[in-house]
Amino acid sequence: MAEGFETLEGWFSLHDFRHFNWPVWNALAKEEKHEIQEELAALLSRYMQIEEKREGSFAFYNIVGQKADFLFLNLRPSLSDFSFVEQEFHKTQFAKLTTPAYSYVSVVELSNYVVSHEKTPEIEAMINSRLKPVLPKTKHICFYPMNKRREGTENNWYLLPLEERKRLMKSHGMLGRKFAGQVTQMIGGSIGLDDWEWGVTLFAEDPLVFKHVVTDMRFDEVSARYADFGAFFVGNQLTLPQLKQILI
């Protein structure tokens, strides 16, 4: 049996994708729309206060295409925190205008493929910042779930020796470094938590970076031989003023 891999876990993550009922919204009176906007703005402000207190993080996006309309992305210290997050959202009038499109539950993860075994204050601080991140407020986001293949013995990631997996992941990581400063990546481990094994979230100012980085990675052996991908969701960041411009 191949040796397993160790992981470090941080905050839990909930990607909540929502469809919005535009016909119902368009039929509402101006006063009703204003009340719903103000209630939602208050909720998002509470999310940001949690982020300011370093008790979680939050990002809000308008999803492009027909897979969803909005993404509420929250990080919290424990899985049980999301019961409150979801209940608080469902009590709003805005929530009643939405239906679930897709959701993904994971925990921010670093594996021993990439984590240094040195224990210096600088390395500890870096690891902590990656496990409990403040979500980047970039213009664009890309999310997709993925698995490592388990096909027979030829393309079975889980039958490879640990040292071979480390070698492949090191090469994979070096390829990604060419995009340093252009894209920020958050890996959510979801084995036992959701239908896929990992959820990958990319943040960038230029959406073409998503195309370039994913294309390059597809040619790397880790992806070419061992990766399966789910649906891709891309979107644009929404600030409160931008949200109010959309909801008119």
At residue 49, the pLDDT reads 96
Choosing from 61, 144, 158, 226, the catalytic residue is 144
At residue 124, the pLDDT reads 83
Question: Pick from 203, 173, 171, 199: which is nearest to 185 by CA?
Answer: 203
At residue 123, the pLDDT reads 77
> pLDDT class for 152, splitting at 50, 70, 90?
confident
Residue 51 has pLDDT above 90, yes or no: yes
CATH topology (fold) of 7-246: Alpha-Beta Plaits (3.30.70)
Give me the mean pLDDT over the 217-222 stretch: 86
75 contacts: CB under 8 Å, gap ≥ 6: 11, 12, 13, 14, 56, 57, 58, 108, 132, 133, 135
Give the strand pairing for 57-63 and 233-237. Answer: antiparallel
DSSP-derived secondary structure letter, 121: H
Q: Where are the domains of the chain?
A: 7-246
Give me the mean pLDDT over the 123-128 stretch: 84
The answer to whether residues 62 and 70 touch, using CB atoms and an 8 Å cutoff, is yes
The percentage of the chain sitting over the pLDDT mark of 90, rounded to a whole number, equals: 68
Residue 113 has pLDDT above 70, yes or no: no
Q: Is 144 a catalytic residue?
A: yes
> pLDDT class for 104, splitting at 50, 70, 90?
very high
